[in-house]
Amino acid sequence: MNHIKTAVIEDASEILALQKIAYKSEAEAAGDYTIQPMTQTLEGLENEFNRYLVLKYIHNDKIIGSVRANAADGTCRISKLMVHPDFQNKGIGKVLMKEIESKFINKRYELFTGSQSLKNISFYEKLGYQAFKTEKLDREETVFVFMEKRNVKRA
């Protein structure tokens, strides 16, 4: 049975293990295994539960997908969308994105991905996101594409 639920801090170790598996291809593409998703600690992830809504996608009692988001100043910042490689290209990422967006009634959504991650950029564009800037963050050498989507739902 597949379903999406809000993750709890007890899920952190399973989500972190998934994160290391899911972001391995990003690290390989960037030629950099020191990217933040690969070096994040369990303590660091547990701390994020205080600031982010974390969703998990469950299949046969295992977490195979996850996404995080928080909101401030009218913008929902979405991060760490991940799906286990064995389950990619089955619509799970799309379902997770729609669910996290539905949890935040904002006028704008924002996320970023590696500028070399053409598959990710295309995926987000299909969901209505558009690039608005590229930037290298201090934390690593990767150049990121920042993407946004305006919420067009009317009350």
Beta carbons of 129 and 111 less than 8 angstroms apart:
yes
Residue 9 inside a domain? The answer is yes
137 pLDDT band (50/70/90 cuts)? confident
**Is position 68 within any domain?**
yes
Which residues form the domain of 35? 2-108
85: left (phi over 0), alpha (psi -120 to 50) or beta: alpha
The count of structural domains within the chain is: 1
Cα distances (angstroms) measured from residue 134 to each of 100, 104, 116: 24, 25, 11
Q: What are the tokens at 92? A: 């799970």
Q: DSSP of 24-70, one letter per residue? A: HHHHHHHT-TTSHHHH--HHHHHHHTTTSEEEEEEETTEEEEEEEEE
Query: Residue 24 is part of a domain; what is its CATH number?
Result: 3.40.630.30
Q: Report the percent of the chain where pLDDT is more than 70.
A: 97
Q: Quick one: what percent of the chain has pLDDT higher than 90? A: 76
Task: Give the pLDDT score at 115.
Answer: 87
- Is the model's pLDDT at 153 over the cut of 70? no
Q: Is residue 15 part of a domain?
A: yes
Rounded CA-CA distance 15/81 in Å is 11
In whole angstroms, give the CA distance from residue 103 to residue 66.
14
Residue 149 lies inside a defined structural domain of this protein:
no
Within a domain: 80? yes
How confident is residue 31, by pLDDT bands cut at 50, 70 and 90?
Answer: confident
Please indicate, yes or no, if residue 136 is contained in any of the structural domains: no
140 found inside a domain = no
Which tens digits make up the pLDDT trace of 58-81?
999 999 999 999 999 999 999 999
Q: Give domain status of residue 48, yes or no.
A: yes
